[in-house]
Amino acid sequence: MAALWMARCGIKTRVVDKRDATVRAGQADGIQCRTLEILDSFGIVDRICKESCHMPEMCMWNPDRDGLIHRSSRIPNTIKGLSRFPCGVLLAQHRIEAILIEEINQYPTVHIHHNVEPVSIDIDNNNTHDHTSHAIRVKLKQVERGHLNHATNGVSSSPIRKLEHARQGDQETVHARYVIGCDGAHSWTRAQLGFCMEGEQTEYIWGVLDIIPLTDFPDIRSRCAIHSAESGTIMVIPREDGLVRIYCQLSTVAPGDDGRFDRSRITPESILEAAQKIIKPYKLDYKYRDWWTVYQIGQRVGNHFSAQERIFLAGDAIHTHSPKAGQGMNVSIQDTYNLGWKIAMVVKGIAKPSTLKTYETERRSVAQELIAFDQEYSRLWSSRPKKAITDQDGINIADFERAFLQQQLFSSGFGVHYGPGLLTAHDSSSNGWVAKCPAPEGKTANGEGQGVASSHQPLATRTVLGKRFPSFKVINHCDARSWHLGERIKSDGLFHIVLFAGDVSQPSQMDRVLCFAREMAERADTIPLHRGRVLFESQHNASTQDRGGVARLLTVHSALRRCVEMHAFPPLLLPYDEELGYDYDCIFVDEESYYQGHGHAYDGYGIDRTRGCVVVIRPDQHVAWIGELEDVSGLEAYFRRFLVQPSD
Amino acid sequence: MAALWMARCGIKTRVVDKRDATVRAGQADGIQCRTLEILDSFGIVDRICKESCHMPEMCMWNPDRDGLIHRSSRIPNTIKGLSRFPCGVLLAQHRIEAILIEEINQYPTVHIHHNVEPVSIDIDNNNTHDHTSHAIRVKLKQVERGHLNHATNGVSSSPIRKLEHARQGDQETVHARYVIGCDGAHSWTRAQLGFCMEGEQTEYIWGVLDIIPLTDFPDIRSRCAIHSAESGTIMVIPREDGLVRIYCQLSTVAPGDDGRFDRSRITPESILEAAQKIIKPYKLDYKYRDWWTVYQIGQRVGNHFSAQERIFLAGDAIHTHSPKAGQGMNVSIQDTYNLGWKIAMVVKGIAKPSTLKTYETERRSVAQELIAFDQEYSRLWSSRPKKAITDQDGINIADFERAFLQQQLFSSGFGVHYGPGLLTAHDSSSNGWVAKCPAPEGKTANGEGQGVASSHQPLATRTVLGKRFPSFKVINHCDARSWHLGERIKSDGLFHIVLFAGDVSQPSQMDRVLCFAREMAERADTIPLHRGRVLFESQHNASTQDRGGVARLLTVHSALRRCVEMHAFPPLLLPYDEELGYDYDCIFVDEESYYQGHGHAYDGYGIDRTRGCVVVIRPDQHVAWIGELEDVSGLEAYFRRFLVQPSD
């Protein structure tokens, strides 16, 4: 994800991966709805949705009075209406990686090198204050090829054999402005920086089998929680290509004196045996196994997310937890989705380096929520059902189901809420929010103690500052095509200023719109607007067109199309180019479409249909600022805080 | 399309194309809804929809009392609810070809050779009775590379320079069982066979410009019919990547004495000038032009569609007409979509060679309808609006709009209705249909005078024998995923037998289902069922798995999922494989889904929710047979007519 951002933003980047190409089996597989939206913003979600297993349903199986498992409920696996992607999907990590790499390779500035690992990393402390300096020196060396893919047990130590006596020519030194360590739970980068993980190891031990199951269990193609009376718990996750992932609690494995268990005693056969006990009287067996592993749940967060905002850590390198909530790959992708555009803007000299401090303030709170979530979630999964009301050790199944429903919002990825800070304005109509979400460790969420821009949340009651901008169907004014507004907001490193223009069929409202456009035009220096067209899916070359600017302006009005001609809008809202003519993709309407109903977007965003408002969306689609059409100076103040100004 | 069928069916095939790779601009661009369904059945529609321009709206512009054009109406461009693809899309032919070729190249049996053209073609008449013989001999030779792509004027004669003195080694002779000439309006294959086109040339002359328009005309991104008072008519077709295609009537060009006009007098500038007159007072200009051409409308149908059902003609080689209805590429793709699976089944020895006669009987009536449609359509487009009620030469604009609406069904591709014949049973409950749709030229629609199988249309009132099987949303019984049933019916050369199992929660109905399964199992020799899994999108290799059989059995019941466990269905409906376990993709339910509403499929198909029925769908998705669950012998009789039987 970090590399994909760099590719889209045209930043010269090297990816080094000690693995031989990609893993072929196992590892992560769950993609939550929010991650699907992110992948869509890069134009690659359709490939992923096509290959993957969709998982609309969750089935709960619990012991009946006789101790036999039975289906106690079937519920939707995701809360309805959260996203234009109705439910999460499952696909092997190696396929997701392959699709990301295929996309990255369409762009010229990113180079991916496999079988290369770092030897050392140093920061030149004399130069870190100057963010244009290549202050980081990383030594790299080649790794012998072709050993990793034999590993089918995810817990074995890395099978890469190093070239112990590498010749000088095999080493290379790279001078970099920034480094991101996305190197996993055993992060080499983290170790080099002397950072550590803080948190606890639990006693819960689980085995994982990726198999094509031979079974008469009727819900094997749904997500299932199977709590047996005495033998532990299974989570069933259906997968693409007939595969099923089975997470099976290994209740019989006792940890050793050091609190760690003896992995060598666990085999795929012993995991299967444990699963068979839980799932009986149904049969479970397999002939084809794709992968297996075993893990002990530990919940930890890194003590630092970056060194001087020059070397960053992301993903498992800063948070580890149990895999069963399907969060790992998602939260990790979202770490660098938060970070990538910030680095790109600083590298390009558009944003101040202090912008980079928001990475840790924003993502640390997500990591901490993840851990808190996972502690509760793992406990519920790993405990046996109560036998009687007086049974202190067991969990109440109704509690499990209630907790599952509550946690769906978190699981879907839409719970993420960045606090007020340099990149997210606070709501001037209320002081409550900041108090409710204090920044961690006494820092302000801002990250550098500056004041936070003011914004007016009540103008868009369902478009929450700091949360991701929701999506509703609207119609292109110029061609009547129906779009989810979210589909028009691509990840290309630009902010989006959405002018909810209100009912422009009323002359007084159109006057407000014209006035907004004039005021914006006068501020072209402080808020330079992007003049390029929205990328066409078919034209990768077009993506490298750099028409400058930091924000794209989109208009969504609430009048009927037939009551307003597009040429009534001022040139700022309907840009004209001498070679390409008008840009017909920037004015949208909240109206009934020909074939796909009415999106009721103004209702969905909680915006007044007559008066509208202005919403600023960050390049990662989080809501940054909300104001009146007249508050262009407030909008300018928001951008001035972090954009390098011509006078700087 | 022919090659794609051969690729999917594993038939050894050579494609020869005298062009240098693909055309880069111009030619066809309209893809109607039915064609999108067909492309989806090969798994490639998403790539096409993503790149293409969607065109939901049609705008009519007509002269007002002062003779100035104004927008008189805006209507949906396609009838609502015809298809899961709500409206047609536009994409340059070269992109469509590229996507088809990319897909074909995933399979091993088809080889595409560019810069090769045929020199001669002969049939060995002594061997034509034996359909296993390679009775056709085609001599091929290399063409010099790299000249076609300079042609930007579609009417210029072929710019390919032939190797006049080709060495012997440049020639090659191919022995083939079948040949399909898809070589266009000036078909070499047709000429070699001595066949000809029958029909008329009109006086209507039109120019075409593919440009990025510089205009203030407000509907330039919608499909428009612009009838000026005196200067002729324009059709506007918005395209991908900001392009617009403008069809402009050239009313000032008089044909010469031979009825043909002098093309050399027409230039892009003269077309633009004509368009500017029609569209005024709006401005129209361009800096970028992608392509241009000029054509005289002629409507013709070939006198023969095949020679001895060994050499076939398809597409423009058998029907030419005006391009404005966006029919050309669609009807042509659908020609070989009708033919390809038939050839594959005969080549594999599954179907009798007489099956191939149905190509001409079925597609000739489509070609004739196309021409009749186009004659009316072209006249309406090419005539000027009436000036007064007494104006005999002009057309009534209201008539134009009414005709447009009537013709939408044809334009969308869903009007195609194959008459009763060897591959389509007749409705025994009515004798009316055959009389209404007589086969052309005194032949029976059957094509060889055999009796036609009996079928019972009233069991599925909205699933019309001979028309394409409609699609409604259903839910997979095993995993609750919502699908359009049409998405599950892939083009893999198999018939589909859809058991509408009715309300299987009623024991008496489940008994009927069990009885149907027993009866079918007993007929495994005459109607061998395919045992392979539905192809996974991600696994092209899986597609080459040949598990035999001629039909796949799908079940759609109307009980609630929670009332019936999947294991209540007999093994014929829920097949089990010792390595892959159960096939979880063959039982569906007409029920409310978690996220995507209720498909009301039984209503949509016009089938009784309690008793259900059985529907047979041909490999090209046309409805072939409808009967009661008890009428397995009738179903068998349908297949026996054209399948090679073990006793043959």
**Both tokens assigned to B632:** 């397995």
Select the residue of B56, B288, B594 nearest A594 (Cβ to Cβ).
Answer: B56
Nearest CA in chain A to B287: A579
Exactly one of B63, B118, B213, B323 is catalytic; which is it?
Answer: B323
Write out the H or E segment, with its range, that includes residue A114: strand A110-114
Pick the closest to residue A623 from A486, A459, A423, A479 (CA basis): A423
Residue A602: active-site member: no
**The two structure tokens encoding residue A44:** 């690659």
Short-list B625, B595, B609, CA closest to B483 = B595
Strands B623-627 and B613-617 turn out to be: antiparallel
- Please write the tens of the pLDDT for every residue from A231-256: 899 999 999 989 999 999 886 556 66
A533 interfaces chain B, CB cutoff of 8 Å: yes
Top mean pLDDT of A369-383, A578-592, B145-159 is at A578-592
pTM, to two decimals: 0.91
* Token pair of B517 as six digits: 């399964």
In the prediction, which pLDDT does A201 show? 78
Please give the pLDDT value at position A254.
63
Position A256 scores a pLDDT of 65
Q: Angle of helix B2-9 relative to helix B93-104, nearest 10 degrees? A: 20
Task: Output the pLDDT for position B450.
Answer: 53
What is the C-alpha to C-alpha distance for residues B359 and B342, in angstroms, rounded to an integer? 8
Q: What is the DSSP string of A606-637?
A: TB-TTT-EEEEE-TTSBEEEEE-TT-HHHHHH
Q: Alpha-carbon distance A74 to B479, whole Å?
A: 11
Residue pair A203/A357 in contact by the 8 Å Cβ criterion: no
Long-range contacts of A566-569 (CB under 8 A, 24+ apart): A566/A477, A566/A478, A566/B218, A567/B216, A567/B218, A568/A504, A568/A510, A569/A504, A569/A513
Strands B13-17 and B110-114: parallel
Q: Cα separation of B532 and A216, whole Å? A: 20
pLDDT for residue B327: 83
**Token code pair at residue A647:** 């006078």
Residue B202 has pLDDT above 80, yes or no: no
A282 is catalytic: no
Over residues B93-121, the mean pLDDT reads: 93
Residue B137 Cα distances to A30, A175, B143, B162, angstroms:
55, 65, 19, 21
Burial class (CB in 10 A: 0-12, 13-18, 19+), B440: middle
- Residue B175 neighbours by CB distance under 10 Å: 11
Q: Do the Cβ atoms of B70 and B64 come closer than 8 Å?
A: yes
Share of chain B above pLDDT 70, in %: 88
Mark which residues 560-619 of A lie under 8 Å from B by CB: 562, 565-567, 578-581, 584, 593-596
Cα atoms found within 13 Å of the Cα of residue B588, Cβ hemisphere only: 29
Q: What 8-state DSSP symbol labels residue B452?
A: -
Q: Identify the pLDDT of residue B383.
A: 78
pLDDT range class, residue B445, cuts 50, 70, 90: very low
Residue B402 has what pLDDT?
Answer: 80
C-alpha to C-alpha distance for B188 and B140, rounded to whole angstroms: 13
Binned at pLDDT 50, 70 and 90, residue A69 comes out as very high
Identify residue B409 by its one-letter amino acid code.
Answer: L
**CA–CA separation, A94 and A100 (whole Å):** 10
Read off the pLDDT of residues B388-426 as tens digits, 9 standing for 90 and up: 777 777 778 788 788 777 778 788 889 899 999 999 999
Instruction: Please choose, from the candidates A633, A614, A304, A626, the residue with its C-alpha nearest in 3D space to the C-alpha of residue A467.
Output: A626
Phi, psi of B321 (to 5 degrees): -170, 180
Residue B10 above 90 pLDDT? yes
**Overall average pLDDT of the A522-532 stretch:** 87
Closest alpha carbon to A67 in A280, A252, A223: A280
Q: How close A50 comes to chain B (CA, Å)? A: 7
Cα(B357)–Cα(B380) distance, rounded to whole angstroms?
A: 36
State residue B622 phi and psi, 5-degree precision. Answer: -85, 145
Residue B162 has pLDDT above 70, yes or no: no
Task: Tell whether the model's pLDDT for residue A416 goes beyond 80.
Answer: yes
Per the model's pLDDT, the better-predicted residue between A191 and A92 turns out to be A191
Which residue from A226, A201, A209, A413 is spatially nearest to A325, judged by alpha carbons?
A: A413
Provide the 10 A C-beta neighbour count for residue B413: 25
Query: What is the average pLDDT value for chain A, to the nearest integer?
Result: 87
Helices A357-382 and A328-347, packing angle to 10 deg: 180
Give catalytic status of residue B377 as yes or no: no
Candidates A247, A359, A418, A602; catalytic one: A247
Does A542 have pLDDT greater than 50? no
In which band, very low, low, confident or very high, does the pLDDT at A259 lie, cut at 50, 70 and 90? Answer: low
Query: What pLDDT does residue B375 have?
Result: 84
What angle do helix axes A2-9 and A93-104 make, rounded to 10 degrees? Answer: 20
Catalytic option among B17, B20, B29, B316:
B29
Who has greater pLDDT, A467 or A94?
A467
Catalytic residue check, A239: yes
Please name every residue paired with B71 in a beta bridge, in sequence order, or none if there are none: B61
Alpha helices in A20-81 (DSSP H): 33-41, 45-51
In whole angstroms, give the CA distance from residue B94 to residue B51: 12
The answer to whether A215 contacts chain B (CB < 8 Å) is yes
Q: Kindly report which listed range (A298-307, B295-304, B540-549) carries the lowest average pLDDT score.
A: B540-549
Can you name the residues that pair with A246 across neighbouring β-strands? Answer: A209, A236
- CA dihedral angle for residue A419, residue A422, residue A428, residue A429, rounded to 10 degrees: -30
Q: Give residue-wise pLDDT tens across range B455-469.
A: 999 999 999 999 999
Q: How many angstroms separate the CA of residue B133 from the nearest CA in chain A?
A: 40
pLDDT of residue A554: 97
- Report the alpha-carbon distance of residue A648 to residue B150 in Å, rounded: 52
Q: How confident is the model at residue B255 (pLDDT cuts 50, 70, 90)?
A: low
Mean pLDDT within A87-103: 92
**Both tokens of residue B64?**
């007002």
The residue-averaged pLDDT of A502-529 equals 96
Determine which of B214, B223, B412, B588 to mutate to test the interface with A (most A C-beta atoms within 10 Å).
B214
CA atoms in the 13 A half-sphere facing the CB of A529 = 23
| pLDDT above 90 (res A639) | yes
DSSP-assigned letters across all residues of A446-494 = TSSS----EE-GGGBTTS-TTSBPP--EEEETTT--EEEHHHH---SS-
Which backbone phi and psi does A380 adopt, to 5 degrees? -65, -40
Q: What is the DSSP letter of A354?
A: G
pLDDT higher than threshold 50 for residue A437: no
- Using the predicted structure, report yes or no on whether residue A525 has a pLDDT greater than 50: yes
Residues of chain B with Cβ-Cβ distance to A565 below 8 Å are: 218
Q: Residue A450 has what pLDDT?
A: 53
Which of A213-222, A376-385, A429-438, B137-146 shows the lowest per-residue confidence on average (mean pLDDT)? A429-438
Residue A541: band (very low, low, confident or very high) from pLDDT cuts 50, 70, 90: very low
Q: Is the pLDDT of residue A472 over 60?
A: yes
Contact A242 B479 (CB under 8 A): no
Please report, for chain B, how many H helices and E strands are present, in that order: 14, 30
- Contact partners, residue B192, CB within 8 Å, separation at least 6: B120, B121
DSSP 3-state of B39: helix
Provide the pLDDT for residue B337: 98
Q: Does A507 touch chain B (CB under 8 A)?
A: no
The answer to whether the Cβ–Cβ distance between B536 and A595 falls below 8 Å is no
Domains of chain B in start order, with CATH, are: 2-56+82-198+299-369 (3.50.50.60), 199-297 (3.30.9.10), 426-640 (3.40.30.20)
Q: What's the confidence (pLDDT) of residue B155?
A: 33
> In this complex, is the C-beta atom of A99 within 8 Å of any C-beta atom belonging to chain B?
no
Q: How confident is the model at residue B362 (pLDDT cuts 50, 70, 90)?
A: very high
With b for 16 or more beta-carbon neighbours within 10 A and e for fewer, the A50-69 pattern comes to bbbbbbbbbbbbbbeeeeeb
> Closest chain A residue to B583 measured between Cα atoms?
A242
Catalytic: which of B204, B247, B295, B602? B247
Number of H helices, E strands in chain A: 15, 30
Range with the poorest average pLDDT among B142-146, B172-176, B330-334: B142-146
User: In this structure, are residues A605 and A472 in contact, taking their beta carbons and an 8 Å threshold?
Assistant: yes
**Which H or E run includes B484?**
strand B482-484
For residue B580, the chain A residues in CB contact (below 8 A) are: 212, 242, 288
- Nearest alpha carbon to residue B429 among B637, B626, B638: B626
**Which pLDDT score, from 0 to 100, does residue B256 have?**
65
Among A470, A416, A488, A513, CA closest to A602: A470
Q: What would the two tokens of residue B207 be?
A: 């120019």
Chain position carrying tokens 């790149």: B51
- The confidence score (pLDDT) of residue B401 equals 80
The stretches of B299-439 forming alpha helices (DSSP H) are: 328-347, 357-382, 397-412, 432-436
Distance of CA A153 to the CA centre of its chain: 27
Q: Is the peptide bond before B281 cis (omega within 30 degrees of 0)?
A: yes
Mean pLDDT of chain B: 87
